[in-house]
């Protein structure tokens, strides 16, 4: 439809019809007998059964035929035959599940995540869906927060690149195209900074920190064309995000240029009452529409109150018209007016979902997401030696995280299944019962090498899964202690949705391979890496704390006026008395099966002026005996500025693949935009002065050079 046709349609709609376009409910009400709605959910939400019938969108149900049937029934009742939007949480895969987002961050390869998102979109679209609530662009620094697994980590630059890549993967150049869905950037804004790492909690961020670090990934997702943004549950500056007019109208729409659909998170408008910022649902509706929230997810706040607010003159109907026009425009961008079913196709659904090509991509992504934290020469495995695979994850299919809501564990390949596909495995034994310590000891005692597959349950991370302690579950630590007491050659394969306290694991294992929640092809990918078929190449996208007392801990912190100097034992400095300041494993850290030598940083000049660029180079050489990939990372520090700057910030990276003895140059171009920041006067720009540049294998590299920036005011 043309914009003029959409405007004509809008003008012909009744006020209540428009308001119902702004109402979203869960899809279960559309696949069951609706006779109980009047005395059930409609009564609870304060709306009528007719509002349910006319709701403009639903979430949480899938299946091509099912959604086609829902759409057909809906459009028959809808006065203007406006199609319904179908939405769902397709976070890291639809049925073919890829590594969880934090694990994808470890790939340091947004281009691969773009491919994964494209596959997820294709499977979701053919199953009848139009919108996915992804990517989550929240910056995360506190491992206690369960939803760190849904982010790509602690670094604004890396997160920004992933946000844009995932939006492009889901939507392509045209979300109307076959196999594409609308992408929803979430949660706006600052949700990753929930106090104490406790979900749904208050967020306290200075304006500088919000803008300089937390808003950047959202901006990149929006700039990539995301058709939808979701509000966050938290307060910001004391105001719940969903009714925060300055945040949504001024910053999101005004400054960031977002012109798409703004949807509340589940029940978030009504929660403004619980926050104490709305007296009741009626006030929540008024504040929500003034803030520019277009769709009320799963409450009756809008449907039950907006009409009377308009009729009483408390809300201008133009605000509702603006929201409804954005909703109609999104439906039009998806091509639903021409084809209400879009890509839904029961026959294609059978062919596309979990096809071999999709599984192969899931295997590749998992391989590249694994981070080798420790290796005392025990890896890669030699399965000709007697090897005992012990622990609950040896045979577990729960490899897909709590946010793979459309995934199925029965689709997952276990470690044992992957091992048993190999020939001549007579030297391999399995012991998957974590509670039978005697059997585990016996298997370990008789083996040359133990592969111990342990970690968090998928239920221990994700939404509403905050943890005050970051330990590996106690039962599994007992298993590690029992096994390591009788066999010193232990390889820990670690499953988890967040950084954990791994001090004891590090002490008791000769190798530690972080595999996160790896997805459908997890078992195959793990064996590929353990046996050296593929060399591990992942790098940590989030620091692993020494212990929970450090969190939030992140690499790009400020110096403070009294920093602790490495190797110094000074008294009155910023430090702990009982633990180190540094994390156990820093951002950007990860080993391989080979060794790399990185030359000193060479700059092509020592001064950079306005309009100029500078190139920093290193030579990377594989000094080991096997091929491998090194992710070479460049960090920059503005030494002195009008506001304090981080001790270093990631400003570039390159993945260098080298055969043994091979050497390649890695060159990084530095321009003035890389040096820009939010200055003391509120403007964004660079300042003249000294700059340090580091290039190395992690955020702790000391391979440094300096240059001077001379910039016009």
In which residue are the tokens 């938290």 written?
234
- Asked if 543 and 625 sit in the same domain, the reply is no
C-alpha to C-alpha distance for 66 and 64, rounded to whole angstroms: 6
Q: What is the pLDDT of residue 31?
A: 72
**DSSP class of 385:** S
- Asked if 540 and 603 sit in the same domain, the reply is no
- Asked if 524 and 628 sit in the same domain, the reply is no
- Asked if 361 and 450 sit in the same domain, the reply is yes
Taking only the tens place, the pLDDT of each residue in 402-418 is: 999 999 999 999 999 99
- Asked if 526 and 610 sit in the same domain, the reply is no
Cα–Cα nearest to 173, from 111, 253, 118? 118
Q: Which helix (H) or strand (E) holds 41?
A: helix 41-45
Q: What is the mean pLDDT of the chain?
A: 96
Taking only the tens place, the pLDDT of each residue in 483-513 is: 999 999 999 999 999 999 999 999 999 999 9
Cα–Cα nearest to 373, from 496, 488, 536? 536
Q: What is the pLDDT of residue 48?
A: 85
C-alpha to C-alpha distance for 574 and 549, rounded to whole angstroms: 15
Written in H, E and C, the secondary structure of 613-636 is EEEEEEEEEECCCCCEEEEEEEEE
C-alpha to C-alpha distance for 332 and 176, rounded to whole angstroms: 8
Within-domain flag for 368: yes
Taking only the tens place, the pLDDT of each residue in 167-206 is: 999 999 999 999 999 999 999 999 999 999 999 999 999 9
C-alpha to C-alpha distance for 151 and 190, rounded to whole angstroms: 12
Of 489, 524, 550, at which residue does a domain stop? 550
Q: Which two tokens stand for residue 309?
A: 């607010």
Rounded to 10°, the helix 268-275/281-291 angle is: 120
pLDDT exceeds cutoff 80 at 567:
no
Structural domain span for residue 619: 596-710
**CATH number of the CATH domain containing 695:** 2.60.40.10
Distance from chain centroid for Cα 80: 38
Taking only the tens place, the pLDDT of each residue in 263-310 is: 999 999 999 999 999 999 999 999 999 999 999 999 999 999 999 999
Within-domain flag for 148: no
Cα–Cα nearest to 473, from 445, 505, 433, 439? 505
Q: What is the pLDDT of residue 156?
A: 98
C-alpha to C-alpha distance for 65 and 46, rounded to whole angstroms: 31
CB-based contact 499:545 (threshold 8 Å)? yes
Domain count, the chain: 2
C-alpha to C-alpha distance for 602 and 619, rounded to whole angstroms: 9
Q: What is the pLDDT of residue 265?
A: 98
Report the DSSP pairing between strands 23-26 and 296-297: parallel
- Could you list the beta-strand ranges (E) of 550-610: 596-598, 602-603, 607-609
Within-domain flag for 479: yes
Of 550, 577, 606, at which residue does a domain stop? 550
Determine the average pLDDT of the residues in 532-555. 98
Q: What is the pLDDT of residue 7?
A: 98
Taking only the tens place, the pLDDT of each residue in 211-245 is: 999 999 999 999 999 999 999 999 999 999 999 99
Determine the average pLDDT of the residues in 53-77. 95
503-527 burial by CB neighbour count: b if 16+ within 10 A, else e? eebeebbbbbbbbbbbbbbbbbbbb
- Asked if 383 and 520 sit in the same domain, the reply is yes
Within-domain flag for 398: yes
Which backbone phi and psi does 191 adopt, to 5 degrees? -60, -30
**DSSP class of 239:** E
Determine the average pLDDT of the residues in 561-583. 90
627-657 burial by CB neighbour count: b if 16+ within 10 A, else e? bbbbbbbbbbbbeebeeebbbbbbbbbbebe
Q: What is the pLDDT of residue 496?
A: 98
Of 89, 138, 265, 638, which one is the catalytic site residue?
A: 265
C-alpha to C-alpha distance for 537 and 514, rounded to whole angstroms: 11
Edge-first strand order for the sheet with 449-455 is 371-375, 511-514, 490-495, 449-455, 387-390, 428-431
Of 529, 550, 571, at which residue does a domain stop? 550
Taking only the tens place, the pLDDT of each residue in 109-168 is: 999 999 999 999 999 999 999 999 999 999 999 999 999 999 999 999 999 999 999 999
Within-domain flag for 339: no
- Asked if 471 and 616 sit in the same domain, the reply is no
Q: What is the pLDDT of residue 210?
A: 98
Question: What is the helix, strand, coil percentage profile of the chain, to 5?
Answer: 35, 20, 45
In which residue are the tokens 């919108």 written?
131
**CATH number of the CATH domain containing 510:** 3.40.50.1700
DSSP letters for 147-201: GGGGS--S-HHHHHHHHHHHHHHHHTT-TTSTT--EEEEEEETTGGGBGGG-TT-
C-alpha to C-alpha distance for 238 and 370, rounded to whole angstroms: 39
pLDDT exceeds cutoff 70 at 673:
yes
For the CA atoms of 605, 609, 613, 617, what is the dihedral angle to 10 degrees?
30
- Asked if 492 and 637 sit in the same domain, the reply is no
Q: Which two tokens stand for residue 13?
A: 């709609």
Sign for the CA dihedral angle at 434, 435, 436, 441 comes to: positive
Taking only the tens place, the pLDDT of each residue in 415-456 is: 999 999 999 889 999 999 888 999 999 999 999 999 999 999
In which residue are the tokens 């370990």 written?
444
Confidence at 39, pLDDT banded by 50, 70, 90: very low
Three-state secondary-structure class, residue 376: coil
C-alpha to C-alpha distance for 288 and 280, rounded to whole angstroms: 12
**CB neighbour list of residue 232: distance below 8 Å, 6 or more residues apart:** 138, 186, 187, 188, 189, 190, 191, 203, 241, 242, 265, 268
- Asked if 490 and 388 sit in the same domain, the reply is yes
pLDDT exceeds cutoff 50 at 638:
yes
Q: What is the pLDDT of residue 27?
A: 87
Which backbone phi and psi does 454 adopt, to 5 degrees? -135, 175
Confidence at 43, pLDDT banded by 50, 70, 90: low
Distance from chain centroid for Cα 187: 11
C-alpha to C-alpha distance for 177 and 559, rounded to whole angstroms: 49
Q: Is the peptide bond before 187 cis (omega within 30 degrees of 0)?
A: yes
Q: Which two tokens stand for residue 8?
A: 């004509």
Task: Report the chain's terminal Cα–Cα distance, integer Å.
Answer: 48
Sign for the CA dihedral angle at 286, 291, 292, 293 comes to: negative
Q: Is the peptide bond before 189 cis (omega within 30 degrees of 0)?
A: yes
Sign for the CA dihedral angle at 643, 641, 212, 102 comes to: negative
pLDDT exceeds cutoff 70 at 33:
no
Determine the average pLDDT of the residues in 352-356. 98
In which residue are the tokens 């662009």 written?
137
pLDDT exceeds cutoff 90 at 254:
yes
DSSP letters for 345-373: -HHHHHHHTT-HHHHHHHHHHHHHH-EEE
**DSSP class of 470:** -
- Asked if 521 and 459 sit in the same domain, the reply is yes
- Asked if 476 and 602 sit in the same domain, the reply is no
In which residue are the tokens 């590690």 written?
480
Residue 213 vs residues 188, 216, 646, 688: alpha-carbon distances, Å: 13, 6, 11, 22
Within-domain flag for 670: yes
Q: Which helix (H) or strand (E) holds 284?
A: helix 281-291
Within-domain flag for 403: yes
Determine the average pLDDT of the residues in 595-616. 97
Catalytic site includes residue 142: no
- Asked if 362 and 489 sit in the same domain, the reply is yes
Within-domain flag for 703: yes
Q: Which two tokens stand for residue 535?
A: 């060399």
CA 575, 579, 582: angle at the middle one, nearest 5? 70
């Amino acid at each position: 439809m043309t914009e003029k046709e959409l405007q004509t349609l809008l003008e012909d709609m009744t006020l209540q019809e428009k308001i119902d376009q702004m109402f979203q409910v869960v899809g279960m009400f559309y696949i069951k007998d609706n006779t109980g709605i009047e005395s059930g959910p409609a009564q609870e939400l304060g709306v009528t059964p007719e509002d349910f019938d006319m709701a403009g969108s639903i979430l949480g149900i899938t299946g091509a035929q099912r959604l086609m049937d829902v759409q057909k029934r809906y459009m028959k009742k809808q006065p203007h035959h406006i199609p319904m939007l179908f939405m769902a949480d397709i976070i890291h895969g639809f049925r073919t599940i890829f590594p969880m987002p934090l694990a994808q961050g470890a790939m340091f390869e947004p281009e691969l995540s773009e491919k994964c998102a494209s596959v997820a979109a294709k499977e979701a679209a053919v199953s009848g869906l139009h919108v996915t609530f992804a990517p989550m662009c929240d910056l995360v620094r506190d491992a206690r927060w369960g939803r760190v697994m849904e982010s790509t980590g602690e670094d604004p630059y890396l997160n920004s690149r992933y946000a844009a890549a995932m939006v492009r993967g889901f939507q392509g150049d045209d979300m109307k195209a076959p196999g594409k869905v609308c992408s929803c950037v979430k949660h706006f804004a600052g949700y990753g900074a929930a106090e104490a790492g406790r979900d749904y909690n208050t967020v306290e961020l200075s304006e500088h920190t919000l803008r300089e670090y937390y808003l950047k990934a959202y901006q990149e997702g929006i700039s990539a064309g995301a058709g939808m943004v979701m509000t966050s549950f938290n307060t910001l500056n004391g105001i719940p995000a969903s009714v925060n007019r300055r945040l949504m109208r001024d910053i999101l729409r005004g400054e960031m240029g977002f012109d798409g659909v703004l949807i509340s998170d589940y029940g978030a408008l009504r929660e403004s009452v619980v926050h104490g910022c709305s007296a009741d649902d009626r006030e929540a509706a008024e504040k929500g529409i003034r803030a520019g929230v277009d769709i009320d997810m799963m409450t009756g706040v809008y449907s039950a109150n907006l009409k009377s607010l308009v009729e009483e003159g408390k809300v201008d109907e133009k605000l509702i018209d603006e929201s409804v026009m954005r909703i109609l425009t999104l439906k039009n961008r998806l091509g639903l007016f021409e084809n209400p079913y879009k890509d839904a196709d029961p026959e294609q659904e059978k062919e596309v979902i979990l096809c071999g090509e999709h599984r192969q991509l899931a295997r590749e992504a998992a391989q590249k997401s694994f981070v080798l934290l420790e290796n005392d020469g025990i890896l890669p495995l030699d399965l000709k030696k007697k090897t005992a695979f012990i622990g609950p994850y040896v045979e577990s299919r729960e490899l897909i995280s709590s946010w793979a809501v459309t995934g199925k564990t029965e689709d997952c390949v276990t470690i044992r299944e992957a091992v048993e596909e190999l020939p001549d495995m007579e030297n391999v034994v399995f012991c998957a019962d974590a509670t039978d310590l005697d059997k585990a000891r016996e298997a370990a005692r008789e083996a040359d090498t133990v592969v111990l597959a342990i970690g968090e349950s998928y239920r221990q991370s994700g939404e509403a899964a905050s943890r005050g302690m970051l330990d590996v579950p106690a039962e599994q630590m007992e298993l590690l202690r029992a096994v390591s007491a009788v066999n010193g050659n232990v390889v820990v394969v670690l499953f988890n949705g967040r950084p954990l306290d791994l001090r004891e694991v590090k002490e008791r294992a000769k190798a530690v391979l972080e595999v996160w929640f790896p997805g459908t092809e997890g078992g195959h990918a793990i064996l590929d890496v353990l046996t050296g078929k593929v060399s591990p190449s992942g790098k940590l996208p989030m620091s692993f704390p020494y212990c929970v007392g450090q969190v939030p801990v992140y690499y790009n912190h400020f110096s403070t006026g009294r920093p602790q100097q490495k190797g110094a034992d000074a008294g009155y400095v910023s430090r702990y008395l009982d633990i180190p300041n540094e994390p156990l494993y820093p951002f950007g850290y990860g080993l391989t099966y080979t060794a790399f030598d990185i030359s000193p940083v060479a700059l092509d000049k020592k001064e950079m002026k306005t309009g100029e660029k500078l190139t920093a180079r290193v030579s990377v050489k594989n000094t080991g005996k096997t091929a491998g990939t090194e992710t070479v990372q460049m960090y920059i520090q503005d030494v002195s500025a009008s506001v304090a700057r981080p001790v270093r910030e990631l400003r570039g990276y390159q993945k260098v693949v080298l055969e043994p003895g091979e050497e390649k140059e890695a060159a990084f171009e530095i321009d003035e935009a890389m040096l820009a920041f939010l200055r003391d006067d509120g403007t964004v720009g660079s300042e003249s002065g000294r700059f340090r540049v580091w290039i190395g294998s992690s955020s702790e590299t000391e391979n440094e050079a300096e240059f001077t920036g001379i910039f016009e005011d």
